[in-house]
Structure 1
Amino acid sequence: MPPVPDGTVHPFSPGGPSERGLVTYPEKAVAEYRATGYWTGRTLPAELRAAAHEHADRQALITPEVALTYEELFTLAENFAAGLVEATELWPGDAVMFQMGNVAETVVSYLGCLLAGIRPVCTLPQHGVREISVLARHVGARGLILQADFGRGQLPDQARQLMSDGVITEVVVARGPAFGSALTYDALLRVGEVVDSAHLPYHSLSPDQIAVFQLSGGTTGLPKVAPRLHEEYTYNSVAWATTLNWGPGTVALYPLPIMHNAGISVGLQPALLTGATLVLAPTAGIPALLDLIEATRPDALPLVPPALAVRLLEEPRSRQVDLSSIKTFIVGGQKLALETAERLRDVLGISIRQKFGMAEGMFLVTPSDAGEEVRHHTVGSPISPADEIRILHPDGKSEVPDGALGELCVRGPYTIRGYFRAEQHNAAAFTADGFYRTGDLARRRIVDGMAYYSIDGRIKDVINRGVEKIHADEVEELIMRHPDVVNAALVAMPDKVLGERGCAYLVLKPAAAPPTVASLGVFLLGEGLARYKLPERVELIESLPLSNVGKVAKKALREDIAMKLAAEPHV
């Protein structure tokens, strides 16, 4: 790590360059959260390291390839951190993009960055050059950690392009050879083995600064990036673990992308902060999942998307595997069909709980001892006594009565107070007193005197494909670059497995050849769109319907595609 040039402000100093664009908590709220013990005055890496010391001999991480105790895992993480400090040009306060899958190297690298005072940016390996470029420039990231053997092996070539474009200057390659000025994961570990880890930068961090960047959505124009601060992000994970009664002896199996807010805050950090064991599935494929259930006997699956629950039911082998160890089976991502919940109960003997959460913070979950009216029809209640929820009228000023539909607005000790460097977004997304306007339509339901919440739609133009959010405006902007397209609208169409998929309504130039799903996909991939965001149906239309205020009437388009799907024969 180079010395800070003379005359410059260190990036990690209070008010330094790395904190500009951060909307933080009011001093009164900070004092309240610390006085009540929700916030501890300690940083995230300090809390993780303390937990690792306490549980040194317990199993921390299991993958199909390795099993590591807390001592083994954090020794690797400290070596990785020391390697970053010694062998790269990264400073504490720098941001590093992640394009990694569910492998042990991802966990080590994430923890190593925290210990080195470097901020992980939780991007996905499916993101392309364009998306990584936009996000890196927005958060000021100079580094990239990639898994060379992920997917079709495209990530090294993408990294070369990012380096050639001057977007990224430091690259670490895991599970593959180095190229150009890139360093390998193994080389960093070797460097770190001979460095004294007692003076790693995390010892001098401030708990009120940014620990991690989480992507909320959008990589066209101004991204929406959630800056997660040390104390609040730690509390988010601890509150989740406390709600689920995790501790030494808990075995949690996580099958979704770990470098995602859900993976970090409902899987990785809650486990490692409480002495539990995290079993990391390499994919969400049912055969691999069943293999790990048989091998590790987990008692918790803390986040299962409805699509995965449906596939579990459809897999005949599920009826042959002993699932009795699973006491906590939490479904989230979008609303679970009642039929699916009942079949999980009747066919596999699984009692589901439902969850709602967001990169911005707030988590809700149904209690383990609640009846089916609550577990099957709501997403429960907040995980912290300090969480605040308002269900607001469309005017954004008044609250609706219990049972009425309104916008879910939230505030609390782990919900951000503003997106990073995004004044325009923040003006629309947050109330004057700091409540985040989620854009989700919700109801407060009173059952046996207790308040629970259901999510019954949304205001935002977002497609929930499984657990991934697709922002329609981002895809539409790229579709409009197609030489044959005059106008375009992307809307959600219902899907029994993923919940929703994207359908593109296109207005074409006269005599233009109609694009297919495949040809439109090829075009959009060429524009740098991630594969999971591609439209999965194309509808041609003479003109897009407009509302009475001149906006595209997407409600009419959603109704149109729903009717067409309902009329088509089921395969």
Structure 2
Amino acid sequence: MTDTAHTLGTSRTLWELVERRAALTPDRPVLLQGDRALTFGELRERAERCAAGLYGRGVRPGTVVAWQLPTRIETAVLSFALARIGAVQSPVIPFYRDREVGFALRESKAEFFAVPGVWRGFDHTEMARRLGARGVFEAYDSLPDGDPDVLPPPPADGTGVRWIYWTSGTTSDPKGVLHTDRSLIAGGSCLAHALRLTADDIGSMAFPYAHIAGPDYTVMLLLYGFPAVMFEQFALPEALAEYRRHGVTVAGGSTAFYSMFLAEQRKQPGRKLIPSLRLLAGGGAPKPPDIYHAVVREMGCQLTHGYGMTEVPMITMGSPDDTVENLATTEGRPPAGMEIRIADGGEVRLRGEAVCQGYLDPAQSAAAFDEDGFLITGDVGHVTATGHLVLTGRIKDIIIRKGENISAKEIEDLLHLHPAVGDAAVIGLPDPDRGERVCAVVEQPPGAGPLTLAGIIAFLREQGLSVHKLPEQLEVVEALPRNDALRKVLKYKLRERYSGTPTP
């Protein structure tokens, strides 16, 4: 990390980081989208004017403001405006629907809710009203505006909870993860340090800005003073023109992104897909070693993969100067300040500034940390002699599809409502494109009619399940495998049975 980036990393709050970067390089771009560009100086000025407009609407330090917005320049401006006030932000992934959004609004007690209006054919404003959300306003093309002179001084302390992120974890309902400005700055600093980036790089955001990766990545831009291209809707090959137009040097997101880029590269072997690209980087899902070797061999760039979660946005990260073996088979090393403890049974536990403060639910918080203050991750692994982390499995019963956590129990609970389902087990199966795919294995009651994947999907959609959680595979069995004691379903046997089964 450069001396300047290291100094900026000591900022107490995100707003202080914005001000310090804007003072250093006010005319350098930070966000690029289509024909638009926002400089670091403009980010500070627009965010402060937006903060004044929000203040005029009644937003104060500590006010909870939820927002469900796509990856746009306006979304970043709004988020930093809320950071300028010292409000508590609750970002919600744009493709969540009534079930998740309603839960987040109720549990966070949000007093305001920013939505994009009609986006990708779905009316978010109508959903917000249907859910009885308070303080609903649209923030897609235009943002609240006002005179910054009305604002109180910016927050001076970055250790208070100012962020509520949502993760489904192992339960039916999402969990509200509590972060501070300092924990997000620490996470972004970890990422920046590992990737060895410079002010000459050009990054890209092809993931939802409302994901924990949003501030993680933006902190990196502020530390190093380079821009990123924002993609409101990411799809290949359509997005390639923007990568090439802006000369993107760093891209990625998760294993699913690597596979998508590879698929496009293979359409024109021997011709570099993105001429300026030197690094793919990401995390959020298992990375098969074959993917690493294929990217390096066929795309002509390096690939670094890491380990993070909503509770700890950056835990370990591969570095471009790591060995080929470590880049292909490990999750990288932790930065200074991130402690990894391997507990009994190989469970990974974490302690450091980037670790969250716990959960909205005090009972969940109490169960999340051990007696020494280490976060209990539920993941299993070991640390090599060189300090690299190798993950070998998960205790938590979650499925990670395209970098997003999906609760098996939530889908199972809904499947049990189907009249032709007697019992159900939902598992994640290895998938080269998605990281994992969702597979539903069901028993049927006597006399039940036949089940089809299309029928199950239609039923789950009627129940309000988000599209990204829908099963991609259905297996109907005479009896689910169970143990002899409590008759618990043995999911590992199902994974063994169906891991080699291709998606229908």
Normalising by structure 1, report the TM-score: 0.81
The within-5 A match list for 1:277-292 is: 277-292=227-242
Q: Distance in 1 between matches of 2:474 and 2:20?
A: 53
Please, which of 430, 438, 457 is the counterpart of residue 502 of structure 1?
438
Please, which of 241, 250, 272 is the counterpart of residue 201 of structure 2?
250
Residue 109 of structure 2 is aligned to residue 140 of structure 1:
yes
What does residue 387 of structure 1 align with? 338
Letter in 1 for 2:311: E
- Indicate the SS of the match to 1:515: coil
Letter in 2 for 1:429: A
What does residue 392 of structure 2 align with? 456
- Indicate the SS of the match to 1:109: helix
Q: Distance in 2 between matches of 1:335 and 1:223?
A: 22
The CA deviation at 1:412 is 0.9
1:241–1:374: structure 2 CA closer, same or farther, 3 Å change rule?
Answer: same
The within-5 A match list for 1:42-441 is: 42-86=12-56, 88-163=57-132, 168-175=133-140, 186=142, 188-189=144-145, 192=146, 195=147, 197-201=148-152, 203-204=154-155, 206-218=157-169, 223-265=174-216, 267-301=217-251, 303-315=252-264, 316-317=267-268, 320-321=271-272, 323-361=274-312, 362-383=314-335, 385-394=336-345, 406-423=346-363, 425-441=364-380
The CA deviation at 1:198 is 4.2
Letter in 2 for 1:69: T
Which 5+ residue runs of structure 1 have no aligned equivalent? 1-35, 176-184, 395-405
Q: Distance in 2 between matches of 1:360 and 1:123?
A: 15
1:318–1:118: structure 2 CA closer, same or farther, 3 Å change rule?
Answer: farther
1:226–1:420 CA contact under 8 A, matched in 2:
yes
The CA deviation at 1:74 is 2.4
Letter in 2 for 1:532: H
The within-5 A match list for 1:519-558 is: 519-550=455-486, 551-558=488-495
Q: Distance in 1 between matches of 2:370 and 2:419?
A: 41
Letter in 2 for 1:173: E
Cα deviations by residue, 1:366-416 (Å, 9 ceiling, x for unpaired):
122111011111111012x1211111223xxxxxxxxxxx11111111112
Q: Distance in 1 between matches of 2:160 and 2:324?
A: 41
Residue 433 of structure 2 is aligned to residue 472 of structure 1:
no
Letter in 1 for 2:142: D
1:387–1:410 CA contact under 8 A, matched in 2:
yes
2:292–2:327 CA contact under 8 A, matched in 1:
no
The CA deviation at 1:247 is 4.8
- Indicate the SS of the match to 2:229: strand
- Indicate the SS of the match to 1:215: strand
The CA deviation at 1:470 is 0.5
Which 5+ residue runs of structure 2 have no aligned equivalent? 1-5
Please, which of 375, 384, 392 is the counterpart of residue 445 of structure 1?
384
1:281–1:411: structure 2 CA closer, same or farther, 3 Å change rule?
Answer: same
Q: Distance in 1 between matches of 2:248 and 2:498?
A: 40
Q: Distance in 1 between matches of 2:238 and 2:394?
A: 34
The CA deviation at 1:40 is 4.5
1:142–1:169 CA contact under 8 A, matched in 2:
yes
The CA deviation at 1:281 is 2.1
Cα deviations by residue, 1:203-244 (Å, 9 ceiling, x for unpaired):
145322112112232596653221111222222222322333
Normalising by structure 2, report the TM-score: 0.91
1:246–1:339: structure 2 CA closer, same or farther, 3 Å change rule?
Answer: closer
Across the two proteins, how many residue pairs are aligned to each other?
495
What does residue 3 of structure 2 align with? none
2:340–2:350 CA contact under 8 A, matched in 1:
yes
- Indicate the SS of the match to 1:243: helix
Q: Distance in 1 between matches of 2:383 and 2:333?
A: 10
2:204–2:228 CA contact under 8 A, matched in 1:
yes
The CA deviation at 1:58 is 0.7
The CA deviation at 1:513 is 2.5
The CA deviation at 1:142 is 2.3
Q: Distance in 2 between matches of 1:115 and 1:325?
A: 35
1:294–1:317: structure 2 CA closer, same or farther, 3 Å change rule?
Answer: farther
Cα deviations by residue, 1:101-141 (Å, 9 ceiling, x for unpaired):
12222111211221222222121111111211111211221
Using the aligned pairs only, state the percent identity: 28
The CA deviation at 1:465 is 0.6
What does residue 32 of structure 1 align with? none
Cα deviations by residue, 1:403-448 (Å, 9 ceiling, x for unpaired):
xxx111111111124222231x2343321111112111212122xx
Letter in 1 for 2:31: L
Q: Distance in 2 between matches of 1:546 and 1:386?
A: 43
Q: Distance in 2 between matches of 1:456 and 1:412?
A: 22
What does residue 561 of structure 1 align with? 498
2:18–2:44 CA contact under 8 A, matched in 1:
no
Structure 1 consecutive aligned stretches of length 4 or more whose deviation exceeds 4 Å: 36-41, 218-222
